[in-house]
A = this chain, B = another copy of it.
Amino acid sequence: MSSQPKHDIFQAIADPTRRQLLRLLADKELPVTVISKHFPMSRTAVSKHLRILSEAGLVGEQKVGREKRYRLQAEPLIELKQWLSFYERFWENKISMLKHFVENEETADRKLVTSDRNKRESEE
């Protein structure tokens, strides 16, 4: 039902306020009124940030009575991890990479550029 990335993950986490929101909602389930007390902005502004996070699938909503509680949904961050995994070798094996790079610059390109982007399994 939820967690369908209409919004870009990278863009969703680009904003520091939204990162704080994720942090706050990591282990708690809170309504907007409570959340907005932690931030120096209006409820509406917080609500909009939550909407963006929601559209990115990073937070889930649950209606409890007349309040709507938000909670972290970390799964979409896997995409970020996958993206990042490509670059890990560049700092982990930096010395060997550099050596390899100097040795055969041209051919090394192809091998590294080939990316196997795992298609994610169909979530509902």
Interface residues of A (CB under 8 A from B): 8, 10-11, 13-14, 16, 19, 22-23, 26-31, 34, 37, 69, 72, 74-75, 77-78, 80-81, 83-84, 86-88, 90-91, 101, 105, 108-109, 112-113, 116
Contact = CB atoms under 8 A, between A and B. Distances in A.
A72 B84 contact: no
Contacts of A109: 27-30, 69
13 contacts: A8-B14, A10-B19, A11-B14, A26-B113, A27-B112, A28-B108, A30-B113, A72-B87, A74-B87, A74-B90, A74-B91, A75-B91, A84-B84
Contact of A77 (B10, B22, B23, B87): B87
Given A77-B84, A91-B74, A112 B10 contact: no
A101 to B, nearest CB: 7
A121 B37 CA distance: 14
A84 B109 CA distance: 28
B22 A87 contact: yes
